[in-house]
Amino acid sequence: MEPVLSLQNVHKKIGKTPVVQDVSFDVYPGEIFGFLGPNGAGKTTTIRMIVGLTNITSGDITVSGHSIATDYKQAIEHVGTIVENPELYQYLTAEKNLIHFGRMSKNVTKESIQKRLELVRLEHVKDQKVKKFSLGMKQRLGIAQAMLHDPKVLILDEPTNGLDPSGVKEMRDYLRQVAKEENVAILISSHLLSEIELICDRYAIIQEGRMVQVERVADASESMKTVLSYAIEVNDTAKAKELLAEHFPDRDVELRGNNLQLQATKEQAGDIITHLTANGVVVYQAVLEKQSLEERFFEVTNGGLA
Ligand SMILES: Nc1ncnc2c1ncn2[C@@H]1O[C@H](COP(=O)(O)OP(=O)(O)OP(=O)(O)O)[C@@H](O)[C@H]1O
Ligand SMILES: [Mg+2]
């Protein structure tokens, strides 16, 4: 598959200061790609280059094969974005806002506006004035607006800023739907690891203008196969250890207080817990000592999160 957004050795200098250095990554149709980095890492600057708000010092950015630097008109046609805060008319209704902004691009019909409102779950409040909307609702309307001209790439700079956890969850749900149903590639920046982990398929880490790593967020089927460390708290460690030695002789089990310490996949851990309880051992808790994205981040940046 061809990437729909491609950054190739992108550099940006502001004055004499290098702000973005040698950033390269590809984003594919239907994918949600995270751009993760601490404050001042260069996320917004990179995004401003992608949408043509600032020049690229060297390297290239292409959208559907068109260079933002040399073929701007063609390239930008396929890009939807919210720059800073969505620009909405407070005294117009949600629907009227979309009708207004829809006049600026070709082929926007009442039906396509309807479809966007449904997709971001604002259909039921389309006749309400935007000034009454919550931040999350405005954010959703902004995304509907950015999608009006059927872009192939949607670029969102810190879209979850200011949203509460349920707002973040909602955003994840409808962004997933947008990516899947419209086969749009979505780039979102964030300084929050937990959000990237929740929303994205893959992510790149940027730190002090340089890219550190591109990784895939493990999906559910992968995580079933991953060997993890468990601490299983039981009422009778001696008996539990005996049972495990008998039935799972290939597991190394260590005792730590009332805990059994062992390595297993999720599936094996399930079998182990079932076997223990079936044989009269009480399992109080099984704690997964999983390496989180946060730990991974510290590992690849050598603890360099500002
Ligand atoms: N117009 C400018 N003039 C000078 N320096 C700038 C300018 N814009 C950005 N910078 C610098 O470039 C670096 C990257 O800034 P940028 O806004 O891209 O970071 P960011 O990752 O978006 O950070 P944040 O998480 O705070 O939004 C920072 O050190 C910033 O001070
Ligand atoms: Mg920023």
Mutation choice for ligand 1 from 23, 44, 157, 160, CB with most ligand atoms inside 8 A: 44
The pLDDT score that the predictor gives to residue 296 is: 62
Q: Which residues line ligand 1 (CB under 6 A)?
A: 14, 19, 37, 39-45, 191
The pLDDT score that the predictor gives to residue 291 is: 56
Comparing 114 with 195, which gets the higher pLDDT? 114
Q: Does the CA dihedral 135-203-181-65 come out positive or negative?
A: positive
First to last CA, the chain: 36
- Which one of the ligands is nearest to 190 CA? 1
Mutation choice for ligand 1 from 21, 36, 45, CB with most ligand atoms inside 8 A: 45
207 three-class SS: strand
C-beta of residue 216 within 8 angstroms of C-beta of residue 25 = no
DSSP 261-293: EEEE-HHHHHHHHHHHHHTT--EEEEEE-PPPH
Q: Which amino acid is at 300?
A: V
Pick the residue whose CA is nearest to atom 26 on ligand 1. 39
| Residue 93 DSSP code | B
List the domains of the chain with CATH numbers. Answer: 5-217 (3.40.50.300), 222-288 (3.30.70)
C-beta of residue 189 within 8 angstroms of C-beta of residue 157 = yes
Specify which of 6-15, 208-217, 288-297 reaches the highest per-range mean pLDDT. 6-15
pLDDT in tens, 125-161: 999 999 999 988 998 999 999 999 899 999 999 988 8
Residue 165 banded pLDDT, cuts 50, 70, 90: confident
Pick the residue whose CA is nearest to atom 27 on ligand 1. 39
The pLDDT score that the predictor gives to residue 196 is: 85
Structure tokens belonging to residue 98:
């979309």
**Which stretch of DSSP H or E encloses residue 256?**
strand 254-256
pLDDT in tens, 267-294: 888 899 999 999 999 999 988 775 555 6
- Answer whether residue 9 shows pLDDT above 60: yes
